[in-house]
Every structure is written in structure tokens, then in C-alpha cells.
Copies of this chain bind each other. A is one copy, B any other.
Amino acid sequence: MSTTTTVSIVYFSGSGHTTKLAEAVAKGASSIAGTAAKLIPLSGEHIAKGRYENEAVLTQLDASDAIIFGSPTYMGGPAAQFKAFADATGGKWFASAWRDKLAAGFTVSNSPSGDKLSTLQYLFALAMQHGMVWVGLGELPMQPNGTNRLGSFMGAMAQAGFDSPEIAPNAEDKATGEVLGRRVATLAARLRG
């Protein structure tokens, strides 16, 4: 078995904010010695008639110790593009291919609450379908340094407001993403033994 812990971050981003949060999560994971963090953006180009088709992404996830799911919150839930990917994992589900892998999640929306919890709940439901093991943020809310300022526990939340991805999510929310990345990488290494 490889001595490196592979943490894959598979996400969809519509306007770029979720990409920024994904990068922060990857930065956090990479900061843990022995971790390879891989960013895997999902593209609408691979969705035909509502179905996601890109075997290479699924194979890459097979080879991961942990998979962190990310999506903006659109209309109270994960983006359709992310859901198309989720539906395309049915073969992995049937084969129990991702059983016992670590899973985690993150999401972005405009307002502080903004039904982001609903998206994290769905990402959790997806992971449970696969028999994965879920890791949340693991941090108390409103830390002095600003991490977890929104008060999220199931995963990392960030707020986009009405700002461009150049400035949103803000530094605190990106630091929150790093917390999640570090936590997943640390626990994935422990679980591999």
C-alpha cells in the first residue's frame, strides 16, 4: 500500500466561489505530512441529458483514501451538476467500492444560513449510501480567529454574499475550509493505520 494518504476533493463550482473553498480545503489537507490532495472539478461538459459520464473521475476516486464532496447550494440543495455526478456513482454503490473510505463535505451560498445545511445533509446521505465514514468540521463555532464563524458542524460552510470569487469567500471562511482539509487528512491517515 502507498505510504501517501490520498484525499480527493470532488466539487462543482458555478461562479467560482466553490472553487476557492475547494482550494482552501486542499491547502489544509496538503499541510498534513504524507498527504496528497487532489482537486477534481466537475464540468457540465461531461453531463449529457442530465447524466454525468466521466469514468476517469470515478477511477481516480477509487484510488483515494478520503473523498471530500463540494457544491454550491442552489435552490436549497446541491447543484444539479453535482447531483448528476452523485447519480453516476451508482455502479460504485452496487460494488461497495467506496465502503469505509472517509467522506466530508463543504458548500457555499449567498446568505449566512441559506439552506447550506440541507446541502451538507445531502452530501452525508450520499456518503452513507456508499458506506463511507463521515468526518465533520470538528470545531466549536465562532473561534477567536474567525474560523467556523457561521456555526457549522457537519462540514464547512462559506458565504459568497454578492461579491466576486476574488474576494468571497472571505479569509475566515477559507480558513474554515483549511480546518476541514487538515482534519480529514489527519483522520484518513489514522484510519489507514
Contact with B along A127-158 (1 / 0, CB 8 A): 11101111111111110000011111110010
Contacts of A121 in B (CB 8 A): 118, 121
- Give min CB distance, A132 to chain B, whole Å: 8
Interface string of A84-120 (1 = CB under 8 A from B): 1011011001101001100000000111111111100
Complex Cα spacing A89 to B141, Å = 16
Cross-interface CB contact of A77 among B45, B126, B151, cutoff 8 Å: B126
The number of residues on chain A lying at the interface, defined by a beta carbon within 8 Å of a beta carbon of chain B, is: 68
Which listed residue (B50, B140, B152) contacts A44, Cβ 8 A?
Answer: B50
* In the complex with contacts A153-B76, A153-B125, A133-B134 CB distance below 8 A: yes
CB of A40 within 8 A of chain B? Answer: no
The residue in chain B whose Cβ has the minimal distance to the Cβ of A93 is B75
Residue with the highest number of chain B CB atoms closer than 10 Å, among A50, A115, A152: A50
Interface residues of A (CB under 8 A from B): 44-45, 47, 49-52, 74-81, 83-84, 86-87, 89-90, 93-94, 96, 99-100, 109-118, 121-122, 124-129, 131-142, 148-154, 157, 187, 190-191, 193
